Structure 1
């Protein structure tokens, strides 16, 4: 598999290089040189296969002969060891539930696949994973890499801006997992990560790698559950399918669009954000004008400069699609709360991120269409806010209950690169 740097097309790397390197020169994202497409008959055949077999074939179409297919399937089986069920909400809308993995969030798929790929590629060479999280990435990456030989993980997150249970899920592990609470928002954490990747000495000494959604292995893994969703839908729903994606860093939407590029029958996508609405405003006006990030109920989407957006634009350019065909919506907290209550009245308990996606979908779905929105995290990960909004207690799933009372093991730093560098080099 060949990939090129979106900021410097002359920089071309293999899949293995892209995983280890994370970012290209000038902090450019890597993008596939070839965009494979399945025939309609292949799609029909794929949709009849089980999740792991199908996913290995989808991933193989991108990765090619870099990883032999039997090994790839074995690694996929280890990564995707849990289901992604579609739950009916109304006659014309369902939710793709991506929260049945060990950290109860969609990022378990990408995090665990990346861990498997890195283990396959790196062998015994020491690696340091450095990533920023606005909530779910941290837990998924921490649990995916926890206990892996020769891997050190450093996770930055905005102090006081993620839910207490999200924090407990990945800041109580210890061992090869180090967590750092940064005084600032997610964008400040992401800026520190980017500075570290521009630091050649640090990169070389620590074997630095990033495991957030900028890493191509994470992105490719996410393509697979869109196929899994369609495989569970009746034929008539597949023909008029509209998918609404709760969007922060836009990795999930990128993966969905890559699934469509492969031939998955999706009529259109909707990019649903909270009030951090850089992309909806851009799609409406053509002006890219990020504002200061605002804290919201859907905190994992509190991103005003989404890293994956250049990949979305590149895919539209390559496929000669029109950006004007991409649906969009920005949903404020008041509407999010009302939507959670609306879903509850329909018999479906949801959390803020999925509610944002459902609201956009419900508002834009046309007669005869079938809607699918992504449930990216278990409602119990946002226990305090969900209970306050819905007015009833939520039972904690085992994955959260067993960590709820453990002490936090995080460092606490200012948004200062010198301090972060010192912390990271202290254990080099």
Structure 2
């Protein structure tokens, strides 16, 4: 698999190098030189496969012979060794596709665990690797658990202090060992900028074997394509031609993966790009002006991102496929409307959380009579226990994954958004 740097098309690397580097020169994201396509006959056969076999088949279309299909199958089986996504009926024409049944109760488990297996496969010489990543809530836990106790891998996770839920924090800031967590006195965008500065420091990058596990890493992105095929396989055949998927968007990796699934040949009619008040993309799609505002804190904190990295990949895909960006549906939802929607879902017999509620609201508002809608459930409602319970006036039981960590002490460090401080930490800790 060959990939090129979106900021320097002359920089071309193979899949293994892209996974190891994370980012290219000038902090450019890697993107496939070739966009594979499957025909209708192949699609029909792929949809009949079990989740692991199908995911291996999909990923092999991108990775080609760089990793043998036998080894790829083993990696996929290890990475996705948890309960698979579940489709839950909300109304006759709207269902939730729950992606939060992994070890950290979020959709990020798919990408993070697959990336961990890729690092193991690629790192044949057992070189020391430092994974540096920023999280607005769920990435941190997924990455931490995926790489926990992995030999020769050190993980450092940055997150905005006081701007993720208490239970999200408990999931990844209580592990210790090779997992280091740092709360930053600022926003997620501040955390993301620190990661970018670290990657800009060539000497630092080389000396500590720096890599990133954000959705900027191509391995995480490719893994997420797989569950869109699973979603499609669960839809009644008579509904498949009019499928609309609403995606809660933060860094826009999840939507990028869905669009890559469509590019590959999955006939999804339309996507809805769903944001909270951090609505840079909806405003851009409306008026053509890219004008990020200061990030604001919301109850859907994993989407509190004003400068989404993966948007450049989406634009590149639309250009390459000659798709029209005006056909991408979009919308933003305020906290007050999110709260109303959580109550509405509860009255429909479904306990949700803020991110999925935003997607449901926009899907409900935009779905046409002849269409069938899925909205992605990206995190377990228990991760937002206090917020959701206050809104729906009902108790949420904690799953074991959270209950086992709730009373453990936080092991995080704390710094201001100062790159010199972070650099010192990366060198010394």
**C-alpha displacement at 1:371, in angstroms?**
0.1
Q: Distance in 2 between matches of 1:190 and 1:199?
A: 15
**C-alpha displacement at 1:204, in angstroms?**
1.0
**Residue 85 of structure 1: aligned partner:** 86
SS at match of 1:260: helix
Is 2:299 the partner of 1:297?
yes
**Residue 48 of structure 1: aligned partner:** 48
Q: Deviations over 1:150-169 (max 9, x none)?
A: 00000000000000000000
SS at match of 1:9: strand
**Residue 247 of structure 2: aligned partner:** 245
**Residue 65 of structure 1: aligned partner:** 65
Identify the match of residue 210 of structure 1 among 208, 212, 219: 212
**Residue 261 of structure 2: aligned partner:** 259
**Residue 276 of structure 1: aligned partner:** 278
**Residue 422 of structure 1: aligned partner:** 424
SS at match of 1:270: strand
Q: Distance in 2 between matches of 1:25 and 1:62?
A: 22
Q: Deviations over 1:275-325 (max 9, x none)?
A: 100000000000000000000010000000000000000000000000000
In the alignment of these two chains, the number of paired residues is 427
**C-alpha displacement at 1:205, in angstroms?**
1.1
Gaps of 5+ in 1: none
The 5 A counterparts of 1:368-387 are: 368-387=370-389
Q: Distance in 2 between matches of 1:291 and 1:418?
A: 26
**C-alpha displacement at 1:263, in angstroms?**
0.7
Is 2:347 the partner of 1:345?
yes
Q: Distance in 1 between matches of 2:38 and 2:164?
A: 40
SS at match of 2:85: coil
**C-alpha displacement at 1:356, in angstroms?**
0.4
**Residue 122 of structure 1: aligned partner:** 123
**Residue 356 of structure 1: aligned partner:** 358
SS at match of 2:3: strand
The 5 A counterparts of 1:3-402 are: 3-82=3-82, 83-123=84-124, 124-402=126-404
**C-alpha displacement at 1:202, in angstroms?**
1.0
Q: Distance in 1 between matches of 2:393 and 2:377?
A: 21
SS at match of 2:309: coil
**C-alpha displacement at 1:89, in angstroms?**
1.0
Q: Distance in 2 between matches of 1:147 and 1:101?
A: 18
Q: Distance in 2 between matches of 1:153 and 1:57?
A: 30
Give the TM-score of the pair, scaled to structure 1: 0.99
Q: Distance in 1 between matches of 2:76 and 2:133?
A: 22
Q: Distance in 1 between matches of 2:256 and 2:269?
A: 15
Gaps of 5+ in 2: none
**C-alpha displacement at 1:87, in angstroms?**
1.1
SS at match of 1:65: coil
Structure 1 runs of 4+ with >4 Å offset? none
